[in-house]
Amino acid sequence: MTFFLRFSKLIRFCLFAGLIFVSLACLAGMFLVFYVAKDLPKLPSPLSRIIETPQTRVFDSNGQVLITLGERNPIPLNMVSRDFINAIIATEDHRFFDHHGVNKLRILKGLYVTLFQSGNVQGASTITQQLAKNLFFSFEKTYTRKFKELLVALQIEASNTKQEILHAYINQIHFGAGAQGVEKAARVFFGKSAFDLSLPEAALLAGLPKSPTNYNPYRHYDRALARRDIVLKRMVQTGLISDLEARQAMSAIPELYHEESDSRTGSYFVDALINELISTYGEDVVYHGGLKVFATMDKRLQSYASQSIKKGLERLDTMMGIKAENRVHPQGALVAIDTGSGAVKAMVGGKNYYKSEFNRAVKARRQPGSGFKPFVYYAAFKQLGWHPATIMTDKPVIIPVKGAADWKPKNFTKTFSGDMILKKALINSVNTIAAQLVEKIGPDAVIRIAKACGIQSPLKNVYSIALGTSTITPFEMASAYTVFATLGIRHEPFFFRRVEDALGRVIFEHIVQEKRVLEPSIAYQVVDMMKSVIDRGSGRSVRQLGFNRVAAGKTGTTDNYNDAWFTGFTPNLCTSVWIGFDRKKRLTDINKNGITGGKGAAPIWAEFMINALKSDPERDFSIPDDIRFETVDIITGCTPKEENSIAEFLTVPLKQEQFLCVKEEK
């Protein structure tokens, strides 16, 4: 009897405790709802007004609008292809007409995957929740935001019909290529109205919102088709089309609309900037957030860059005997960076954006050839204590390579000139001397300097790095050379200075930060040598073309003539130019002679820099306090003797503690 009495008391206690717990949970839930609800926005009436959210605008460095993102052409549901409506519902929310804003089964599945499948995060948003997310909140993945999103979704469902919700949703989806809303997307990708979309076209569009960048059919057509097939399979699974209709649609290859009037940005710079914004804030914020973005681009310099690349590549076609009707033409890239801040002032990634959106300035990794030698010379000066008047011998070189054949670097001239000072070796771009320098200091020493200057691409730890055999991008080249222009100060390159939200609040501001990565005196010695490259060496063609300002630079040409470069800088602007075929192929003129960086890339650089700097005051590079100048014989490295009138002399910068007539030990 006592046992049953105690057991009944325990049961009553548990019931009362459970009731109290449930009551407290309900009160806490109500408090949470009321607490969160006070910050919820007031829904517009009618719901279609949410399409009027502010657009993101991008401004250039002078405050002029570069591009507006999120432009929409809203249309009623009855003007949209039924195939598209079925495709988007099957893909995004197949129970859309059955739930009241929240799909409980999807939430449970999402929780299970997120909690129990390590590394996976499963979303559970309905179309209504996506509408709420895109229009009202920050896009941080927090539980508070998800809860607010759910409450707004319930509000939307309670006060609007399914047709009104679907109408608002399909008119604000971002499809990529600047297309916001289904009508804009249909016009951009297929040159037709949303009403006229076929099933294959509708399914392709319905697959884009998952990742407009990765599935952009202008850039990744195969990916877009694969995603389209997934959409068609979902339509079969949900009973919206038959298996036969799906197979027929999968066999169709929709033709994209390629007129220049479409909504692609038309700019390699803007594409790079948008990619940077998306990597920071996500596509939803960039295209739905009503941001104001203040870019670093100078429209005047950008125009000069585009003209220079276009004219330079047309001149190259003539030089090579390539006719306009030929399918394959050489391409080019140009990047210009402000040396004092790292601001990217201009960027061109190809001859014609609408024929090829591939941005060679930031994505094409190519061998820089002799353009890599400044890093070699700096590393040698730093590690060995040498200087521009140190003597080395241009001679046949055989460098043993462990586990491989001996390396036998050759000069472009196929000849050897004997003893010379290092300044003369860089002016003439002597390969054998650069190879001997790397043999003495090791490839890793060169790699450390290049990485410190901003080269991020993988660099092979091999002796041939002396001749630029590892691949890098024009963007990296321009950024790294700015460190020489500033005598060792590194500024991280950037595309935008400030970002404001829709209410004008600053959510990002770039603070220019300096980092010293090179010794100023040694950097100046390399810069002085690079000045002579332009004045009397492999880059002298820029002088012949009329560029007369103080500047330093270096040509680059690969052994097989696949790549030609010129990268140079004044104290305030650094520009890198690359030319070559996308699929590696020799650059040769009509006489089958190889085209070097001095002949192919330097003229583009010169034309751009003449225009870009014509309104800027001229100035020289600053000279460190511990630098002195000496005139030396290029063969002996010593002060010239009066009776030796036939010798060639060069003026070299030396640190105060450095001595002349220093020859490398045999």
The tens digit of pLDDT for each residue in 43-52 reads 666 776 666 6
pLDDT of 289 over the 60 cut: yes
The pLDDT value recorded for residue 108 is 47
Higher per-residue pLDDT: 597 or 24: 597
**Nearest of 435, 351, 373, 360 to residue 400 by alpha carbon:** 435
Give the C-alpha separation, 169 to 77, whole Å: 11
Sign of the Cα pseudo-torsion (422, 425, 431, 433, in order)? negative
pLDDT of residue 215: 93
d(CA 202, CA 512): 46
Tens of pLDDT, residue by residue over 109-168, are 444 444 444 544 444 578 888 877 765 545 455 556 666 777 777 878 878 888 988 998
76-251 topology per CATH: Penicillin binding protein transpeptidase fold (1.10.3810)
Q: What is the pLDDT of residue 261?
A: 54
Q: What is the DSSP letter of 437?
A: H
3-state DSSP helix/strand/coil % of the chain, to nearest 5? 45, 15, 40
Model-level pTM? 0.82
pLDDT at residue 178, rounded to an integer: 75
72-101 core/surface letters (b: 16 or more CB in 10 A; e: else): bbbbeeeebbebbbbbbbbbbbbebeebeb
pLDDT tens track for 306-347: 999 999 999 999 999 999 888 899 999 999 999 999 999 999
Region 583-599: mean pLDDT is 93
User: Which one of 51-65, 210-224, 569-583 scores highest in mean pLDDT?
Assistant: 569-583
Q: What is the reported pLDDT for 120? A: 42
Segment 17-28 shows an average pLDDT of: 55
| Average pLDDT of the residues in 231-240 | 95
**Predicted local confidence at residue 313, as pLDDT:** 97
pLDDT tens track for 546-564: 999 999 999 999 988 999 9
Active-site annotation, residues: 92, 370
pLDDT at 654 over 60: yes
pLDDT at 217 over 80: yes
Average pLDDT over the chain reads: 87
Query: At residue 223, does pLDDT exceed 90?
Result: yes
What is the rounded distance in angstroms from the CA atom of residue 656 to the CA atom of residue 625?
9
CATH level 3 topology of 369-471+625-665: Beta-lactamase (3.40.710)
Q: List C-alpha distances in Å: 333 to 24, 347, 595, 605.
A: 66, 8, 16, 10
Q: So what's the pLDDT on residue 121?
A: 41
Q: What is the mean pLDDT of residues 270-288?
A: 88
Q: Quote the pLDDT of residue 390.
A: 96
The per-residue pLDDT for 430 is: 95
Q: What is the mean pLDDT of residues 80-104?
A: 84
pLDDT of residue 146: 67
**Helix (H) / strand (E) containing 499:** strand 496-500
Sign of the dihedral through C-alpha 177, 179, 182, 184: negative
Q: What does the domain layout of the chain look like in residue ranges?
A: 76-251, 369-471+625-665
With bands split at pLDDT 50, 70 and 90, how would you rate the model's confidence at 102? low
Distance CA 377, CA 437 (A): 8
- 278, pLDDT greater than 80: yes
What confidence score (pLDDT) does residue 405 get? 87
